[in-house]
Amino acid sequence: MTPFRLGLTGSIGMGKSTTADLFAAEGIPVWDADAAVHRLYAKGGAAVLPIGALHPPSVSDGSIDRTVLKTWIATDPTALPRIEEVVHPLVAADRAGFLAQADADIVVFDIPLLFEKGTETQMDATLVVTAPPVLQRARVLARSGMTEAQFAAILARQMPDAEKRAKADHIIETLSMDSARACVRALIAHIREYRDA
């Protein structure tokens, strides 16, 4: 039987990575979009040569220098769409490979831009993690090197939380680890019950 595909998303600072870890702790395989991009950008990664062809200064010591890439994106409005044209098919292939190898009844796909990129259509259900704006802001600004301007820029690229919640099949509010863990366990049980019905 094909695993049940649960797409996990949430805006920055909402507790998405922590929630993904809670699924992993319950034995559910988790595919992480950000980790896939890191693999693609690392030495020998499939994105290194094509991105190097687009912007040679981006490659340093056989891997993608993310700082150079960020500067290029910030100064050239055509950069991001061109990078995405290279990276998105590679990420999709990585995701498909993970699913093909998964030996589980449920798999979680941790995808920051799940709705923004239309990837929710490839999922059996979606889960949005959320938290009050004041908690989100405190979490994000506590990160090393994060500024108000960076936070605002990231939020501007992401679909508003209310919109994500309106689109989601399931919502978990990440106020505490204990409550989030209980919600994750309940959702796993719910999916298994639904699958076995």
Query: Position 82: which residue type?
Result: R
Distance CA 119, CA 170 (A): 16
Measuring CA to CA, which residue among 22, 52, 20 is closest to residue 35? 20
Dump pLDDT digits (tens) for 120-171: 999 999 999 999 999 999 999 999 989 999 899 888 888 999 999 999 999 9
Cα distance from N-terminal residue to C-terminal residue, the chain: 14
Neighbours of 122 (CB within 10 A): 15
- Could you tell me where the beta strands, DSSP code E, fall in the chain? 4-9, 30-32, 59-60, 63-64, 106-110, 125-130, 170-173
Contact status, residue 120 vs residue 159, Cβ threshold 8 Å: no
pLDDT score of 194 more than 90: no
Q: What is the pLDDT of residues 15-57, one digit of tens each?
A: 999 999 999 999 999 999 999 999 999 999 999 999 999 999 9
Q: In degrees rounded to 5, what are phi and psi of residue 64? A: -80, 130
Residue 184 structural domain: 1-28+105-197
Same domain, 97 and 21: no
Question: Quick one: DSSP state of residue 55?
Answer: -
Same domain flag for 120 and 195: yes
Is residue 126 a contact partner of residue 169, using CB atoms and an 8 Å limit? Answer: yes
3-state class of 69 per DSSP?
helix
Pairing of strands 59-60, 63-64: antiparallel
For residues 114 and 194, membership in a common domain is answered with yes
DSSP assignment, residue 132?
-
Structurally, how many domains does the chain consist of? 2
The residue to which tokens 């061109």 are assigned: 82
CA 3 from chain centre, in angstroms, equals: 19
Domain closes at, from 68, 83, 101? 101
In this structure, the answer to whether residues 56 and 13 fall within a common structural domain is no
The overall pTM is greater than 0.75: yes
